[in-house]
Structure 1
Amino acid sequence: MAGSEGPLRLRDWLVAQIESGRYAGLSWEDADKTSFRVPWKHAAKLGYQAQQDAALFRAWAVYKGKHLEGTDKENPSVWKTRLRCALNKSADFCEVRERSQLDISNPYKVYRIISEGTQGPGTILPLEGQPGLVSKDEDKQSPSRLAQEGSLLPATLGPSPLADHGYQAPGPTHSWSSTLSEDFSNPDFWLHVRLFYGTALVHEATVRTAEGCCLSPRAIPANAAAEYLLGPQPRMARVHFPEPPPGAGALRHLLPHLERGVLLWVAPEGLFAKRRCRCRVYWRGPLAPHRARPNKLERERTCQLLDTRRFLAELCAHLRAGRPEPEYQIRLCFGEEYPGPPDQPEERLVMAYVEPIFARNLLLHSKRLGSETGP
């Protein structure tokens, strides 16, 4: 199925499965083939037959090399979680929750295929002279590889711009600091997160998992995490908002509305987010459509917050032509519009500052080289 061009990305693979007609319940939802149904029967439901009801999930696991025929144990729930994770994290799909039917005898979910040309929050036009960004499978290419291609970065950066993996967050580093790690040694996908209540830094963490993290107010039992969050894989880190101090009534009222959290992850194309919580979330960053007024994260939609190629192009311009440093920090504001009117303070009740470590390290590396080679 992969063909001479190598493995298919999820979008092309799924379309091929729909067109094949070999999976009961997997079908197009409309004549224009922009939406499709995925059979979604729960294993505890009466009449569940794993051989039929988990066939699509199993096929994806086999295709991705996550299940070896005749060797690995049959595990339909894990297969289902893997495909759900892939769908939720892909920028090619958006679940149409109002059209999904999960309470019928043959339940299904509906997903819409997002057009290559669709532009929404967090979508950017290619830079002048730069090719358009093509979504790729998440296993293909890492940001450090992108940084070494062609003339994206000056030759003085050397062959390994991420060789120095040391990272110190700006601002205070004290007892709130922690590392969320699965011993994942590739810093291209690490994140640094700082949580603030007002002006106070209340939690700080370096996330060292390939799957990213979920910002949420409380711990979730491990056996319920996948179903509860509807997306994170078991290795996705949890970054928790701490218990508010006594008397902080507004905080105690807001945090329960963040319960399903916000997912954050780094892919080869850049930094992405998906809001799962009921609470409104506003963001500021290099791809924000508006600079002087709020940008809302739409619920259940994957939003690109930072573009790897754009960051590298802007870093080149900074090093070669003295242009401003590329922006890479993302600010998330929970429950309040951000930014507010000019006469209001910058701080809000609950905020998160997020930095992809590959971007910060590249900038620090270029500064270090600049100081070493300067006059």
Structure 2
Amino acid sequence: MAGPSRQQLPDFLLGRIGRRAYPGLAWQGPGRTVFSVPWTRFDEENFDLNRDTTLFKLLQEWETNQGRPVNPPNPTKWKARLRNAIARSREIEEVSDQTREEGGQPCRVYRFTDQDASASSQSASVESEGNVAPLPTILVSVFYRGVEVTLHPLETDCWVLYPPALSPHEQQQVLQTLPSDVALLKLPSPVVPDDPINQVLSNFRQGIFLYVSAGCVYAVRRCAARVYWRRSDSPDVENVLQRDETVQILDCAGAGGDVQTLSVDLSVGQSFMCYGLVVVVVTATR
């Protein structure tokens, strides 16, 4: 069975510039031909929060568009490939060959050389957007022994973690390095002393990253605790969320028919074969 057709680079970028899901990937000026691309400086040995920036998502989607595997993630190599693709394109040119700062963040500025094609692609994008179903409402709930302890709307990138397991210095580092477009969902301490839950949470430290891109929900496990996940449409299939791998856990856009609600359960520290002490639930409702 043939896979989806690959988008050409200009169309790929035009479909994303100015969208809320890609903060910083924006038009520069009213002409809608010049645009800026966030140009994060990735640390090859420790991606830290950089893996969840706009550039990381853009690079990952371009790699997927080109039919290349995205695990293990290699944003440094991806960035070089994207820049080479832009350099080879006859429809895009770099306004400056220097990385500049915009709002305190590094970015590169490019221009579409074919204004008619740019306007046509944007018009087509707007028209197709009008035919797309409304975006679902996505909520993140956390349960301790089956009791909901917190609820958070997933409207932007979200870092779910347990601050009490971090030292004061580590907590300060989190606050200092957290991008402005990433929400922090802090898990509460158990109301009553609960050694099994405390043991699970002590290994949850760096938690899980969640983000939405192109109608799909992705998860990145950052914690030492094992994480198992299963979807509501295949409850008998248990998956393991490998550490530092980006995994699509929900495809909201691809759910057809009369499906109104999709959800995925992420059990922290225990397989679903055991009783779920700490479970993160992501629910998408149309």
Query: 1:115-167 deviations in whole A, cap 9, x for unaligned?
Result: xxxxxxxxxxxxxxxxxxxxxxxxx9xxx987743xx7xxxxxxxx64xxxxx
Instruction: Show the counterpart of 2:67.
Output: none
The 5-angstrom pairing of residues 1-375 of structure 1 reads: 5-6=10-11, 64-66=36-38, 84-86=51-53, 88-89=56-57, 90=60, 92=63, 93-95=70-72, 148-149=130-131, 162=134, 188=135, 191-208=138-155, 210=156, 212-218=157-163, 224-225=173-174, 233-285=179-231, 291-311=235-255, 314=256, 317-318=257-258, 325=259, 327-338=261-272, 340=273, 348-356=276-284, 360=285, 362=286
Instruction: Show the counterpart of 2:99.
Output: none
Letter in 1 for 2:254: R
Number of residues paired by the alignment? 197
TM-score (ref. length: structure 1): 0.43
Distance 1:222 1:256 in 2: 14
Letter in 2 for 1:200: V
SS in structure 1 of the partner of residue 223 of structure 2: coil
Measured after TM superposition, the shift of residue 253 of structure 1 is 1.2
Measured after TM superposition, the shift of residue 6 of structure 1 is 4.8
Distance 2:281 2:51 in 1: 27
- Structure 1 residues 206 and 337 mapped into 2: Cα distance closer, same or farther (>3 Å)? same
Query: 1:280-307 deviations in whole A, cap 9, x for unaligned?
Result: 111111676xx42421111111111122
SS in structure 1 of the partner of residue 198 of structure 2: helix
- Structure 1 residues 354 and 309 mapped into 2: Cα distance closer, same or farther (>3 Å)? closer
Runs (5+) with no aligned partner, structure 1: 10-61, 68-74, 98-108, 114-139, 153-160, 163-187, 319-324, 363-375
TM-score (ref. length: structure 2): 0.55
SS in structure 1 of the partner of residue 220 of structure 2: strand
Distance 1:248 1:111 in 2: 45
Letter in 2 for 1:348: G
Instruction: Show the counterpart of 1:322.
Output: none
- Structure 1 residues 267 and 145 mapped into 2: Cα distance closer, same or farther (>3 Å)? farther
Decide whether the 8 Å contact of 1:214 with 1:262 is kept in 2: yes
- Structure 1 residues 281 and 146 mapped into 2: Cα distance closer, same or farther (>3 Å)? farther
Measured after TM superposition, the shift of residue 63 of structure 1 is 6.9
Structure having the higher Rg: 1
Runs (5+) with no aligned partner, structure 2: 1-7, 15-33, 64-69, 80-121
Q: Kindly, what percent of the aligned residue pairs are identical?
A: 19
Distance 1:308 1:264 in 2: 14
SS in structure 1 of the partner of residue 199 of structure 2: helix
SS in structure 2 of the partner of residue 5 of structure 1: helix
SS in structure 2 of the partner of residue 328 of structure 1: strand
Letter in 2 for 1:248: D
Distance 1:4 1:96 in 2: 21
Decide whether the 8 Å contact of 2:230 with 2:237 is kept in 1: no
Letter in 2 for 1:298: Q
